[in-house]
Amino acid sequence: MIGIIGTGGHAKVILDIFQNSNRKQLFEFFTSSRSNIDPIFHAYAVYKDQQDILLQSHSRIKKWHVAIGNPLVRKSKIEFLQSYHRHVISAIHRQAILANDIHIGEGTSIMAGAVVNPSVHIGTGCIINTTVSLDHDCLIGEYVNIGPGSKLAGGVQVGSLTELGTGAIVIPNKTIGKKCIIAAGAVVVNNIPDGSIAMGVPAKVVAIRSP
């Protein structure tokens, strides 16, 4: 049995990944709001996402995945599960292409068509979306979201809790700091400091986020 925290769009993708790997796998879902749940989840048991309920389910749920797009919320949920020694698993689509020597942190999801090349390190709780390309020696921090179709050239470093929008491009050996937002379609040709919001071609910092 796999327990999945989240019932939004990202959770639908995670469910599909696990089902493609094992059609006989059983699931239970946990959500912050049981109203307006997508019909796809009606076939499964759905419980309130409360700490006591999560802990009480340990006898039947041996594996967990947090399927929530917001990186801060995802971080909170994963760290809670880890603090009680729950087994947090990654979700990797069978059509992702992965080099042999990469590192993938607990609770990370890698979608269909993603390519992860040699010597890439991906931290805990990341989302590597559809058709993302991570070239050799990229270092991806914890709880990073990389949007669909983004391309990171070799040696790129991305700090924890940073989000890259759809189709972002980063040229080789550039560093993007922690807690940044890189807009969709941006082309990063310079290092981006912590907490920056950057957009455009080439990407320019337009604001600094509050700590």
Q: Say how far apart CA 209 and CA 211 lie, in whole Å.
A: 6
Q: Name all contacts of 153-156 with Cβ < 8 Å and 24+ positions apart.
A: 154/117
Q: Verify whether residue 136 is a known catalytic residue.
A: yes
Q: Per the residue annotation, which of 65, 87, 121, 136 is the catalytic one?
A: 136
Q: Is 200 annotated as a binding residue?
A: no
Q: Are strands 2-5 and 63-66 parallel, antiparallel or unpaired?
A: parallel
Q: Say how far apart CA 185 and CA 165 lie, in whole Å.
A: 7
Measured in whole angstroms, the distance separating CA 145 from the mean position of its chain's CA atoms is 5
Q: Say how far apart CA 166 and CA 157 lie, in whole Å.
A: 18
Could you tell me if residue 14 is left (phi over 0), alpha (psi between -120 and 50 degrees) or otherwise beta? alpha
Among 180, 143, 141, which residue's Cα sits nearest to residue 164?
180
Active site residues: 136
List residues forming the annotated binding site for substrate: 69
Which residue ranges make up the annotated binding site? 69
